[in-house]
Chain A
């Protein structure tokens, strides 16, 4: 197991490369999901406002 993490002495190159890739790929998936949630909230707030001003 320790041998696996040592990567034959190349651990300081291999693992940062994998960590950075994992981080970048994760962020690029999460970003649009969060943006969509924010947008849905924003649009529905405007829609509710319009509905209210129409009923008044």
Chain B
């Protein structure tokens, strides 16, 4: 081994240590917040003002700019929750546990938004707020998976065994993700098929697609911001008896 301790590997290791992650997240968050606000501003302006009305659905289709990003994020965050859970089970990494715990309520919020905005879009277009079809039902199950994870983690007092129990639940629930994605192809459903993720030929006009992608980016950065903020709280809470937290807190209080 070399004498120099600052190889990329040790740097990576240090990043996973709570104090340096706490510090790095604190530095990055303002930039993430600014990018998020810029994406929201441009996406909302493009989607609500610049983009034309849909030739079939009129102005009601504009719900797409919040419905589709919410639905994408509901699945993306779940995939991340399961990945962080797997890492925490295999390597007992505290940081992965914190990321998983921090992600669950945010993912639940996106799932809730996908369901409610979908309902508000479904009423004028389909004539009903809700149908028990494959896409809607599997998305509702996703919400219950998030809530189940949160309830399970909150119910167990010991922090680490709570994370471990939650991790198993999160990993088992992954089977729901392909069901949500392919539900519109496997079963007959009121829900329209994919319009954007058919990469060969997206069936959406470019003036509608660009704001949608901007909004999707805005939601990504929103998740990143609030997840980092939540991980910082988790770190402070679990490290409250350490010297570095005490110096940090007393220097801030004085």
Instruction: Give every chain A residue within 8 A of B252 (Cβ-Cβ).
Output: 40, 44
Q: Which of A14, A28, A43, A48 contacts B60 (CB 8 A)?
A: A14
In the complex formed, the residue of A with least CB distance to B118 is A17
Is B67's CB within 8 Å of the partner chain A?
A: yes
Overall SS of chain B's interface: helix
Question: CB within 8 Å of B: which of A20-36?
Answer: 20-21, 24-25, 28-29, 32-33, 35-36
Contact A8 B245, beta carbon cutoff 8 Å: no
Contacts A8-B59, A10-B58; A47 near B249 (Cβ below 8 A): yes
Contact A47 B250, beta carbon cutoff 8 Å: yes
In the complex formed, the residue of A with least CB distance to B234 is A32
Query: Number of contacts between A and B (CB, 8 Å)?
Result: 92
A29 to B225, CA, bound (A): 8
Is B16's CB within 8 Å of the partner chain A?
A: no
Contact B253 A21, beta carbon cutoff 8 Å: no
> Nearest-CB distance from B142 to chain A (Å)?
16
Overall SS of chain A's interface: helix
In the complex formed, the residue of A with least CB distance to B252 is A40
Is B160's CB within 8 Å of the partner chain A?
A: no
Contact A28 B109, beta carbon cutoff 8 Å: yes
Q: Which of B48, B67, B233 contacts A39 (CB 8 A)?
A: B233
Contact B236 A39, beta carbon cutoff 8 Å: yes
Contacts A18-B66, A20-B116, A44-B252; A10 near B124 (Cβ below 8 A): yes
A32 to B103, CA, bound (A): 12
In the complex formed, the residue of A with least CB distance to B62 is A14
Contact B53 A17, beta carbon cutoff 8 Å: no
Contact B59 A7, beta carbon cutoff 8 Å: yes
Number of interface residues of A (CB under 8 A): 28
Contact A28 B106, beta carbon cutoff 8 Å: yes
> Nearest-CB distance from B123 to chain A (Å)?
6
Contact B70 A21, beta carbon cutoff 8 Å: yes
Q: Mark B109-151, 1 if CB is under 8 A from A, else 0.
A: 1001100110011011000000000000000000000000000
Contact B66 A8, beta carbon cutoff 8 Å: no
A10 to B60, CA, bound (A): 6
Contact A10 B59, beta carbon cutoff 8 Å: yes
Contacts A8-B58, A18-B66; A32 near B233 (Cβ below 8 A): yes
Instruction: Give every chain B residue within 8 A of A35 (Cβ-Cβ).
Output: 233
Instruction: Give every chain B residue within 8 A of A33 (Cβ-Cβ).
Output: 229
Contact A17 B116, beta carbon cutoff 8 Å: yes
Interface residues of A (CB under 8 A from B): 4, 7-10, 13-14, 16-18, 20-21, 24-25, 28-29, 32-33, 35-36, 39-41, 43-44, 46-48
5 A–B pairs (Cβ distance < 8 Å), ordered by A:
A8-B58, A13-B124, A18-B66, A28-B105, A43-B236
